[in-house]
Structure 1
Amino acid sequence: MINHRILGHFHESAELKIQAASTLAPAIAQAVDLMFAALSNGNKILACGNGGSAADAQHFAAELVGRFERERLPLPALSLSTDTSILTAVANDYSFRDIFAKQVQALGQPGDVLLAITTSGNSENVIAAVEEALERDMRVVALTGKGGGRMAQLITDADVHLCVPHERTARIQEVHLLTLHCLCDGIDVALFGGDVHE
């Protein structure tokens, strides 16, 4: 019984990745271009999300500041999900809705990119961060699923929406992780040329 369930997870995940590839690839390429332009102009990438999406935001920032698959200079990226003093102070003194928006207000500059991750597209604190980013003339790359939720109506034509065509949170997160690795690889190739695995 458990083996059957495990095989089901693998098959569903693999099938979704194949299904989503043709839909997401052009938008991922657009997101790479947007992030490349920001980094080339001396701007930075801020990333945010809740729960597993917070871990993804942190993972993405770590790949840029450290390295992905090649030795290179560090790239300016920051996860807004990691400073517990800021998170708890803002949540306590204002509201949980403001935990990312306040950081975007403090750290975001015109030309920066906000990577906003929410599997439902409806996380209020991520939505608030996007609203603040757009007010500050930042660009947004949104990773969602489940049709995109409120996020789909919020971002502009200058932004990039990467919406995984699935309803199950675990499957959406698995495609989000692959997407983040595609972004890291694309940024490295755009900035430094070639490919370690070509």
Structure 2
Amino acid sequence: MTEARIQAQFFESADWFYQAAEQLTRPLAAAAQMAVGTLTSGARLWVAGSGLAQGDAQWWSQLLLNRFEQDRPPLCAQTLQAELGDLHGVPALVRQVQALAHPGDLLVWIDPLGDAQAGLLVEAAHQQDVAVVALCGNQDAHLRAVMTETDLLIRVAHPRWPRVTETHRLALHALCDAIDVQLLGLDAGA
């Protein structure tokens, strides 16, 4: 029973990845273009995640800062720190965007479960003239309400949050690869 259930998790995930590839390839390519445009203009990538996705944000910014699969110069990607707490009801991430972000920067927000506070973060980014790429799950109404035409919402439309999170992690690796390919002039077919 246990082994069959474990195997079913792998099969469900693999089946979903095939479906997600068709849905997410184009928006992820657009996100990579936005990131490359930001980095080549001398601006910064700010990365943050909701709840446990904060760990994914930290992981991704470290891959960009250090390296993915190829040696390259460090890329200017920094994780906003959610554990700093709130001040007078204003989420710490919002305060950091207000203090640190500059026009032309890009905020990458990872939100698999639909954090109701995310709208405040996106609005703060817009006040700083910062575009937003948001990776989300099914619960994205709060984001759709505040996103503009300069932003990109990448929705992983799976009903189970573990599949959403797994897809976000694969998407972040695909973004690293696409950014490296564009910046280093690598063979995109490899």
Displacement of 1:124: 3.1
Q: Single out whichever of 184-193 and 124-133 deviates more from structure 2.
A: 124-133
Letter in 1 for 2:95: K
- 1:117-165 CA-to-partner distances (Å, cap 9, x unmatched) read 11133x1333221110011111110000115231122211211111001
Match of 1:36 in 2: 36
Q: TM-score, normalised by structure 2?
A: 0.94
- Matched residues in 2 for 1:61 and 1:113: separation? 12
1:100–1:128 contact (8 Å) kept in structure 2 = no
Letter in 1 for 2:150: A
Structure 1 counterpart of 2:163, from 162, 171, 185: 171
Match of 1:94 in 2: 88
2:105–2:131 contact (8 Å) kept in structure 1 = yes
Match of 2:121 in 1: 129
- Matched residues in 2 for 1:69 and 1:3: separation? 33
Equivalences for residues 103-182 of structure 1 within 5 A: 103-121=96-114, 123-182=115-174
Displacement of 1:105: 0.5
Displacement of 1:197: 8.1
**Off by >4 Å, runs of 4+ in structure 1:** none
Aligned residues: 190
What is the RMSD computed on CA atoms of the aligned residues? 1.6
Match of 2:185 in 1: 193
2:64–2:74 contact (8 Å) kept in structure 1 = yes
Displacement of 1:51: 2.7
Displacement of 1:5: 1.2
- Matched residues in 1 for 2:46 and 2:23: separation? 25
Q: TM-score, normalised by structure 1?
A: 0.90
Displacement of 1:195: 4.3
- Matched residues in 2 for 1:72 and 1:196: separation? 16
Displacement of 1:196: 9.1
- Matched residues in 2 for 1:153 and 1:30: separation? 21
- Matched residues in 2 for 1:157 and 1:188: separation? 26
Match of 1:74 in 2: 74
Match of 1:48 in 2: 48
Structure 1, gaps ≥5 residues long: none
